[in-house]
Amino acid sequence: MLKQSAYRDSVKQNINLIKMMDSVQMNVLKSNQVMSVFSKSKTVRIEIYDGGQLDGDRITLKANDKTLLTNFETKAEPKVVNLELNAKKTALVLTANNVGTMSTNTAVIEIFVDGQKIRALTNLKTNESTQVDLYLK
């Protein structure tokens, strides 16, 4: 195994640690929190499914105030939403319509952008919202 000092500075500079962490770890989205995602592509695929035990969690999803899903019950199978980015910034707002039969509303949202997958888990009470801002480069 190479020691860290054995790597050239030019190799270290080419590694984007933020992108590596986002694609590996689960981001937790709480109430009134905003996560930013940057895209070179005008099309983004979003997959939403229940993040824990199936307990009847329902969500509403909007993009720039346009409703994409209304009172949608998350399941084990992902719901696929293809989204066209028609503005420099698209505000994707996910609202918990309920908390199901167990504690908080936990929906997994996976954003497929520029060949990467960014995963986030909502942790919301009834009527709380969280937001993902999609920026078109």
- Position 103 scores a pLDDT of 85
Cα angle vertex 104, ends 134, 33, to 5°?
Answer: 30
- Using CA atoms, how far apart are residues 65 and 63, in angstroms rounded to an integer? 5
Cα angle vertex 36, ends 35, 40, to 5°?
Answer: 150
- Position 9 scores a pLDDT of 54
- Position 24 scores a pLDDT of 52
Here the CATH number for the domain that contains residue 29 is 2.60.60
Q: What is the pLDDT of residues 88-110, one digit of tens each?
A: 999 999 999 999 898 899 999 99
pTM: 0.80
128: pLDDT confidence band, cut at 50, 70 and 90?
very high
Is the model's pLDDT at 12 over the cut of 60?
Answer: no
Q: What is the mean pLDDT of residues 122-135?
A: 96
Closest to 49 measured CA to CA, from 17, 65, 72: 72
- For residue 24, the surrounding DSSP H or E stretch is helix 17-24
- What's the total number of domains in the chain? 1
Is the model's pLDDT at 72 over the cut of 70?
Answer: yes
- Expressed as residue numbers, the domain containing 31 is 4-136
> 105 CB contacts (<8 Å, ≥6 apart)?
57, 58, 59, 96, 97, 98, 99, 122, 123, 124, 125, 126, 128
